[in-house]
Structure 1
Amino acid sequence: MKLTTREKSSLFFEGVSTVILLAMINLAIIVILQWIVRRNPGVNSGIFIIKQSLAFGPMEIRIWSYQRIVIGIMLIIDVWVVWWRLMRRYRQYQMDHIIRELHYIAQGHLDHRISFKLNGSLQDVITSVNTLVDSVVQSMDDERQVEKSKDELITNVSHDLRTPLTSIIGYLGLIENKQYHSEQDILQYNHIAYEKAVQMKGMVDDLFEFTKVQQHGAPLNFMKVDLDPLLEQVSASFELEAEKKGIEISTHVDPKPLMIEADPEKLGRVFSNLVSNALKYGHGATWIKLSASRYHEMIIVKVANNGEPIPQKSLKHVFDRFYRVESSRSKATGGTGLGLAIVKGVVDRHHGQVSVASDEKETAFTVVLPASQTAPSEAAVNGDAAKAQLAE
């Protein structure tokens, strides 16, 4: 930290004034002591006796002189006082500089940091201030991101709901205004409106589920779950739809039973979303395979299909909310773009990881979860998850 010219001058005059003041005090002390010694013969005699007793050698060298001792003690005290006053003033200037920097930051210059280095506790103050400002800036950025996300959420939801809602209003309007030619037209219009309403309900359900996943304060109902019947149940729920598309769904769990500590409802939603995603977007697929295995303390579940691969540029975005690999697919399937975001949210809350790999042979979503929620630190989970995926 560099002192200003004014501060340097102030320090200089502080030192000079302190030296002058101390010199006057010292002179007064010496005069008083000499007066005491002269006015008290007993004191003078005592000093003489001490001087005689402290004579050394054949030359009777005397090292005692109370004036020298007093002056020496006063010089030591004077040096300490001058140093203390100058350091106190210097510390005050350092604090003034820190306060000026704080005022500058408080005026809105949040990109500014206190750059100078100091010794002692004031450096801890500077470090704390810089850390606090970084934390405030990060919090503001996070808040802006949350607000932006909310705006995007409202925009996307409004856009997704408007299309089926427009169709529902349109077809019901035709019926309301009697713009039909036969009862068959009424049934057709009513059926289309019903399908659009079901589509809207699916969107609202996805949005509701996504919102619940994002609320990390909401408790999960952890219990011991056997993955074999869970995956069989998921497979059975999509069997009819898969048959219509000529797709075979199979499950394989090893070992049996394969127990995991999880929220069964949330975990079932994860695998249902992955299978549903494969049915919607795995164009040309002939099979969907659900497999589960154990690797040390980690459970690995893979949902794979041999349909159309996901473009490599889209792989890193598939878990982003409202992201669709192709917009035309969304129109055809009625997807919200929240399915895989829900998957990632649930897996994160189970302290696991989810990844995707896709090529001409297969598209596979791999979920790696800890067998017990009481284990490992985050770093350990990440490391074991990576090893587990490599093992697969």
Structure 2
Amino acid sequence: MKKKRVKLTAAEKSELFAEGVITVVLLLLLNLSVIILINLTILQNKNLVNGIFFLKKTVAFAGGQHIWSWQNIFIVMMGIGDLIVLYWRLIRRYHQMQLRHVISELHYIANGHFDHRISFKVKTDLQKVIDSINSLVDSTVNSINEEKAIEKSKDELISNVSHDIRTPLTSIIGYLGLLKSGLAKPEDEQKYVNIAYTKAEQMKSLAHDLLEYTTLKSTKTKLNLSPLHIYSMLEQVAAGFELEAEKKGIGFVVETRPKNLTIQADPEKLGRVYNNLITNALKYGAGATKIKLIANLVNNDQVELRVENNGAKIPEASLKKIFERFYRVETSRNVKTGGTGLGLSITKSIIDLHHGTIRCTSNDKWTSFIIRLPLDPKKAQNAK
């Protein structure tokens, strides 16, 4: 924001001019009164006259020049004093006018114009007040926007949860209704029971993920930190998905550099991160033949964890929203693969708790989820 000086109005300029004229008149009257009083005092005291005459003759400057007239020196001194008083009164009035402009700007902002900022540049402590007001307005606007975002997020949460519960619940009621009414054919009864059970499992998964998501978002959530050997954890995670991956013709590659890389982390929560990312790769990585679990030490104080698959590319538009709650890539919204839409949001929340970052890149060859974690989250928190 470009700062500008306070521009006075014509009325304020006239006010400032009048202030100067009145001050000059008052000072001239005061000077005249002082001079008259001093002259009367000197004329009534001959000893004072002789003393002044003695000083004029005694005090000499370079070249032997004596004081020509004490009156002239006194008048010059009074003139300097008058200029100082005149400047002080004018600059004080000017600062009062600046303050009026600031107050006017403040009232304008208070009337709801929160996009407006006070752009004045002054050379007094008033500048600190202006900067503080602008900072306060920025903070207020941010708080309002955050409150709106929270309200919108809450509405979206209710809408999404309602939709995701209503869809399987409608199927459950429908198929159980057929069984209850006796209209279902005997050979279809088991199929309807299986469908109802599958839908119930989906609702259970949604409820579980929703509870975990809200728990992770709570400020009371704590990490149970302990030393975690990365290579051992990755081997264990890969083994847990080995059978499912083999059915889809996918193999795991585990690499850590160095091999004995160890960090301070919450094993349970970080394990959930890998479960979510690998599940995501198995569900949506169409055509994938390989999933890489890679860990590298970075700058001796961070670890970079990568979960990569060589399956279908994620569209660019989806990459920007992939960690949003309930967001799912449109092509994955089907009965077989469509999850709760909370997995990646839960993943990001866990990474945030570890004071780390996560991002996703995708091209025709690889889709990569890249995580950066501090070796010790407590040190990272203290550093902030």
Q: TM-score, normalised by structure 2?
A: 0.86
C-alpha spacing 1:333/1:61, structure 2 compared with 1 (3 Å): closer
Superposed counterparts of 1:110-149, under 5 Å: 110-149=114-153
For residue 268 of structure 2, what is the amino acid of its counterpart? E
Give distance in 1, aligned partners of 2:255 and 2:62. 106
Give the Cα separation in 2 of the matches to 1:231 and 1:301: 10
Displacement of 1:202 after TM fit?
1.1
Change in 2 beyond 3 A, CA 1:186/1:125: same
Q: Which residue of 1 aligns with 2:227?
A: 224
Partner of 2:349: 345
Who is 1:10 aligned against?
A: 15
| CA deviation profile, 1:289-325 (whole Å, cap 9, x unmatched) | 4333434423233323343333344334322332222
Mapped contact 1:347–1:369 kept (Cα < 8 A): yes
Report how many residues are paired. Answer: 378
> Contact 1:324/1:330 (CA < 8 Å) preserved in 2?
no
Name which of 354, 360, 373 aligns with 2:358: 354
Q: Which amino acid in 2 is paired with 1:63?
A: I
Take 2:359 and 2:66, find their aligned partners in 1: how far apart are those partners? Answer: 92
Whichever residue aligns with residue 197 of structure 1, its letter is A
Taking the aligned partners of 2:327 and 2:203, their CA distance within structure 1 comes to: 18
Give, in whole Å, the separation in 2 of the partners of 1:309 and 1:255: 30
Contact 1:307–1:363 at 8 Å: present in 2 too? yes
Q: Give the structure 1 partner of residue 78 of structure 2.
A: 74
Q: Equivalent residue for 2:41?
A: 36
In structure 2, distance between residues paired with 1:304 and 1:209: 25
Which residue matches 2:376?
Answer: 372
Contact 2:253 2:291 in 1 (8 A): yes
Pair 66,232 (structure 1): closer, same or farther in 2 beyond 3 Å: same
Deviation of 1:338 (Å): 1.8
Q: 2:237 aligns with which of 224, 234, 238?
A: 234
User: 8 Å contact 2:276–2:344 — kept in the other structure?
Assistant: yes
* Contact kept? 1:281, 1:329, Cα under 8 Å: no
* 8 Å CA contact retained: 1:216, 1:349: no
Cα drift, residue 277 of structure 1: 0.8
Per the TM alignment, residue 94 of structure 1 is displaced from its structure 2 partner at its CA by 0.9
Distance 1:96 1:152 in 2: 45
Q: 1:86 aligns with which of 78, 87, 90?
A: 90
Letter in 1 for 2:151: E
> How far did residue 350 of structure 1 move?
2.2
How far the C-alpha of 1:374 sits from its partner, in A, is: 5.3
Which residue matches 2:159? 155
How large is the Cα RMSD of the aligned pairs?
3.0
Report the Cα distance in structure 2 between the residues aligned to 1:224 and 1:98, rounded to whole angstroms: 57
> Which runs of 5 or more structure 2 residues have no equivalent in the other structure?
1-5
AA in 1 matched with 2:92: R
Q: For the Cα contact (< 8 Å) 2:326–2:342, is it kept in 1?
A: yes
**Aligned pair partner of 2:51 in 25, 46, 52:** 46
Question: Take 2:31 and 2:310, find their aligned partners in 1: how far apart are those partners?
Answer: 98
1:160 CA displacement: 1.3
Alignment of 1:272-291 (within 5 A): 272-291=275-294
Alignment CA distance shift 1:18-1:240 (3 Å):
same
Q: Distance in 2 between matches of 1:135 and 1:254?
A: 44
| CA–CA separation in structure 2 for the residues paired with 1:315 and 1:56 | 87
Shift of 1:272: 0.3
8 Å CA contact retained: 1:330, 1:336: no
What does 1:308-327 align with in structure 2 at a 5 Å threshold? 308-327=312-331
- 1:181–1:120 CA distance, 2 compared to 1 (3 A): same
In structure 1, stretches of 5+ residues that fail to align are: 382-392
Q: Cα 1:29–1:229, aligned 2, differ >3 Å: closer, same or farther? A: same
What is the rounded CA distance, in whole Å, between the counterparts of 1:271 and 1:372 in structure 2? Answer: 19
Q: 1:53 to 1:161 in 2, by over 3 A?
A: same
- Bigger drift between 116-125 and 268-277 goes to 116-125
Residues 147, 86 of structure 1: CA spacing in aligned structure 2 closer, same or farther, 3 A cutoff? same
Please tell me whether the aligned partners of residues 261 and 373 of structure 1 are also in contact (alpha carbons under 8 angstroms): yes
Q: Which amino acid aligns with 2:293?
A: L
Task: State the 1:18 CA deviation.
Answer: 1.4
CA positional deviation for 1:78 = 1.2
Q: TM-score, normalised by structure 1?
A: 0.85
Q: Which residue of 2 aligns with 1:388?
A: none
Conserved 8 A contact 1:54-1:64: no
Structure 1 residues 86 and 292: alpha-carbon distance in aligned structure 2, compared to 1, 3 A threshold = closer
Deviates more, 1:262-271 or 1:62-71: 62-71
Shift of 1:187: 4.5
Compute the displacement of 1:328 (Å). 4.8
Instruction: Note closer, same or farther for the CA distance 1:152–1:35 as it changes in structure 2 (3 Å cut).
Output: same
Residues 328 and 315 (structure 1), Cα distance of their counterparts in 2 relative to 1, 3 Å cut: closer
What letter matches 2:352 in structure 1? D
Distance 1:55 1:222, change over 3 A: closer
Question: Given that residues 210 and 342 in structure 1 are in contact (C-alpha distance below 8 angstroms), is that contact kept between their aligned partners in structure 2?
Answer: yes
- 1:20 is aligned to 25
3-state SS in 2 of match to 1:113: coil
1:385 alignment counterpart: none
> In 2, distance between residues paired with 1:106 and 1:143?
19
Letter of the structure 1 residue corresponding to residue 214 of structure 2? T
